[in-house]
A and B are shown apart, each in its own frame.
Chain A
Amino acid sequence: MKNPPSLDQLIAALKVLPGVGPKSAQRMAFHLLQRDQAGALKLARAIGQALENLQHCERCNTFSETALCNLCADASRRQDQLCVVEMPADLMTMEQAQCFEGLYFVLMGRVSPMDGIGPRDVHLDRLLNRALDGQVEEVILATNFTAEGELTANMITELLRSRGLRVSRIARGMPVGGEVEYVDLGTLAQSLYERRTLSE
Chain B
Amino acid sequence: MSQPGKVDRQPGYVLHTQAYRETSLLVDVLTRDHGRLVLVARGARRPKAELRGVLLPFHPLLLAWFGKGEVRTLHSADWQGGLPQLSGRPLLCGFYFNELLMRLTAREDPLPALYPLYGEALQGLAGAADLGSVVRRFEMGLVRALGYSPLLSQDAAGRPIEPARHYFCRPGEAPDADAPPAAVRGVWLSGATLQALADDDYTLASTQREARSLTRLLLAELLDGTPLMTPRLLEAGAGALSLTTGWPKAADPSTE
How many inter-chain residue pairs (CB < 8 Å) link A and B? 95
> Which listed residue (B16, B240, B245) contacts A162, Cβ 8 A?
B240
Q: List chain A residues, Cβ under 8 A from B241.
A: 119, 124, 155, 158-159
Q: List chain B residues, Cβ under 8 A from A189.
A: 79, 81, 84
Cβ B85 vs Cβ A150 within 8 A = yes
B247 at the interface (CB under 8 A from A): yes
Interface string of B42-56 (1 = CB under 8 A from A): 000000001011101
Q: List chain B residues, Cβ under 8 A from A190.
A: 84-85
Q: Restricting to A124-166, which residues have a CB under 8 Å from any CB of B?
A: 124-125, 128, 145-147, 150-151, 154-155, 158-159, 162
B233 at the interface (CB under 8 A from A): yes
Cβ B243 vs Cβ A125 within 8 A = yes
Q: List chain B residues, Cβ under 8 A from A159.
A: 240-241
Most buried by B among A113, A159, A172: A113
Give the nearest-CB partner of B88 in chain A. A154
A116 at the interface (CB under 8 A from B): yes
Interface string of B1-40 (1 = CB under 8 A from A): 0000000000000001011111000000000000000000
Interface size on B, residues (CB 8 A): 44
Binding site for A on B (CB under 8 A): 16, 18-22, 50, 52-54, 56-59, 79, 81, 84-89, 91-92, 94-95, 98-99, 102, 228-230, 232-234, 238-241, 243, 245-248
Binding site for B on A (CB under 8 A): 18-19, 111, 113-116, 118-121, 124-125, 128, 145-147, 150-151, 154-155, 158-159, 162, 172, 184-187, 189-190, 193
